[in-house]
Amino acid sequence: MVAESKSMSKAMPTTVSAHIVANSDAQAVEQWLKEYTASAQTFRAYRKEAERLLLWLDAQRLSLASVDRRRLDEFEGFLTNPLPAEQWVGPPRPRSHPDWRPFRCPLTAASRRQSLIILQGLFSWLVEAGWVAHNPFRLMRDKRRRLDNRQEEIERYLERPLWDWLWQWLNRPLEESASSRAHFLWRRRRLIFGFAYLLAPRISEMASARMGDFFCREGRWWWRVIGKGDKLASIPVPADMLTLLGEWREHLGLTALPEADESGSVLRGLNGKRSLGDNQLYRLIKMSFKEAAQEIEIDEGGAVFAQTLRKATPHWLRHTAITHQAQAGIELRYLAKTARHSRLDTTARYLHTEADEWQRQLAAHQLESRRL
């Protein structure tokens, strides 16, 4: 699960009595990761953060037991700017690929918080397991600020005018001479962005979606999804999504509506059968954002929109979907069900109505000279 190296393979300090069977830091982390094998998504996320820490420790010739308050600050700085970049940063690759790198880019403040939250849990477990003597996270004076992953409101989304432009751009008709391959890619990209916007899935949920996950009950269509924390949910399917799905299925030579227990993937490769992986889907969306940015930059006043599209990630589509649903007046309880949030205050970050009203009312507060 986690690669071994010289420093990672150091034995546990003799001052600590271990309660797990492990001979190295890497093996101890593997024991921790086994607690999360029930959820593939959580397992991958936790492995990624633990692996970054172990690789950094290896580069510093350190072990988990040597991580103290000072080292924790150094590691947080490393997450902000992993150097040398050629050693740490690179495009998505399979973990077995020689060009695989642990970072796609330096981590944002939100991503650093998430990383530290996960690693705080790792060290708590390692202390209980007797592998390390203390948890350095407990010494953080500003721990609440650093590890509180909640924000006042979601800002990483496409505002309505930009989304409307993007959707129109995605729907531009192809030239009459377009190849069958071009038609396939055009329809698949429309489905990807429509799926992301209408149902607010996570990337992994979209990639793993099967045709049989769409089902009809008492005349209404639903999408069955196993999401974060291995939780099962059913989400209402809007008419626009059903239309997009039907057009895509007919292009694949299938019936317009999914049949019960149909096993094929929703999103497929060029052969029309092979499913898309998380990384491939991520790259397709990022490439679309890049192409759209180049297109809108040509338009007058499009520079700001282009800048937004260039920094957007696929997860922004989920934020965009939930934010626009909130702006459309969908009740908080239903937003939470669509987003599959366990806490209403998490969903409430998508509510911008109060901020808009605050701006409107404060606009009446002006300098006297402007009223003359």
Query: Could you tell me the two tokens for 237?
Result: 């399917």
Inter-residue contact 345 to 152 (CB < 8 Å):
no
Q: Which pLDDT band holds residue 196 (cuts at 50, 70, 90)? A: very high
Burial of 190 (0-12, 13-18, 19+ CB in 10 A): middle
Average pLDDT value for residue range 255-279: 89
Of 302 and 16, the one with more pLDDT: 302
First-to-last C-alpha distance (Å) of the chain: 71
The number of residues making up the chain comes to: 372
- Cα angle 46-27-147, degrees, rounded to a multiple of 5: 30
Inter-residue contact 280 to 287 (CB < 8 Å):
no
Cβ neighbours, 10 Å, residue 60: 15
Q: Which pLDDT band holds residue 180 (cuts at 50, 70, 90)? A: very high
Poorest-pLDDT segment among 38-47, 61-70, 244-253: 38-47
Percent of the chain with pLDDT over 70: 82
Average pLDDT value for residue range 159-167: 94
pLDDT tens readout for residues 217-235: 888 999 998 877 677 888 8
| pLDDT of amino acid 95 | 84
Burial of 264 (0-12, 13-18, 19+ CB in 10 A): middle
- Dihedral sign of CA atoms 156, 162, 164, 167 in order: negative
Look-up of token digits 């003799």: 14
Poorest-pLDDT segment among 9-23, 116-130, 293-307: 9-23
Q: Which pLDDT band holds residue 291 (cuts at 50, 70, 90)? A: very high
Query: What's the predicted TM-score (pTM) here?
Result: 0.62
Inter-residue contact 192 to 267 (CB < 8 Å):
yes
Q: At residue 344, does pLDDT exceed 80?
A: no
DSSP 107-151: PPHHHHHHHHHHHHHHHHHHHHTTSSS--GGGG-TTHHHHH----
Q: Which pLDDT band holds residue 15 (cuts at 50, 70, 90)? A: very low
Domains of the chain, each with CATH number or no CATH = 25-147 (1.10.150.130), 160-359 (1.10.443.10)
pLDDT tens readout for residues 108-153: 887 888 899 899 999 999 999 999 999 998 887 665 555 555 444 4
Q: At residue 368, does pLDDT exceed 90?
A: no
| pLDDT of amino acid 141 | 67
Q: At residue 6, does pLDDT exceed 50?
A: no
In which region does residue 62 sit, left (phi positive, over 0), alpha (psi from -120 to 50) or beta (all else)?
beta
Q: At residue 353, does pLDDT exceed 60?
A: no
| pLDDT of amino acid 16 | 54
